[in-house]
Amino acid sequence: MLYNTHVDLLTTSVATVESGSEPYTLVELVGEADVTNSDALREVLDACVAQQPRTLILDLSGLRFMDSSALHVILRANRAMDRQGGVVALASPRDPVAKMLRLTAADQLIPVYQSVSEASAG
């Protein structure tokens, strides 16, 4: 993963999970997602979307903070997936991130689950 600044503030890992009924792309976000790393996050999500998965799950359990710039990047990926007939799901947000999703009503646009397993089953 390439970042311009604050290399370790946000790390992402991407995996294709094939066990179970249908494969999905799982992206884990760890750290803090804000305007300083939102371009890098966009690159990661663009690359994931370009693979045209049916389901893209973002595991937010390791995310301490998300701001509106990061949210916009996620919403952008959601729109792209929607155009491709795919779906995005958010899993395991911590309280500050869950609040942010609720305040902005982003949780009305993208389903939010309490765990990755629930997200993959939903």
Partner 1 sequence: MARSSVHLPEPPRRSQPLPSPTNDAMYHTYRSDLSQVRALVLQQAREAGLAESRSNDLVLAVSEVAANTLRHTRSSGTLGIWHDDDEIVCEIRDSGTIADPEAGRRKPAPDASGGHGLWIVRQVCDLVELTSDANGTTVRMHMALRSPSPR
Instruction: Concatenate the DSSP letters of all residues of 27-62 into one string.
Output: EEEEEEE-TTTHHHHHHHHHHHHHT--SEEEEEEEE
What count of other Cβ atoms lies within 10 Å of the Cβ of residue 115?
Answer: 12
DSSP 8: T
Task: Provide the minimum distance between the beta carbon of 21 and partner 1 in the complex, in angstroms, as a whole number.
Answer: 30
Among 14, 62, 69, 118, binds partner 1 (CB under 8 A): 69
Confirm if 115 and 28 have CB atoms less than 8 A apart: no
Q: Report if residue 109 touches partner 1, rule: CB under 8 A.
A: yes
> Taking contact as CB under 8 A, which single stretch among the options 22-30, 46-54, 98-106, 112-120 is the one that binds partner 1?
98-106
6 to 25: interface string for partner 1, x by CB under 8 A: x--x----------------
Identify residues 26-55 at the interface with partner 1 (CB under 8 A). 32, 34-36
Spatial distance between the Cα atoms of 108 and 64, rounded to a whole number of angstroms:
21
Stretch that binds partner 1, among 22-30, 42-50, 53-61, 99-107 (CB under 8 A): 99-107
Angle between helices 68-83 and 38-50 (to 10 degrees): 10
The contact set with partner 1 (CB under 8 A) reads 5-6, 9, 32, 34-36, 65, 67-69, 71-72, 75-76, 79, 95-96, 99-100, 103-106, 108-109
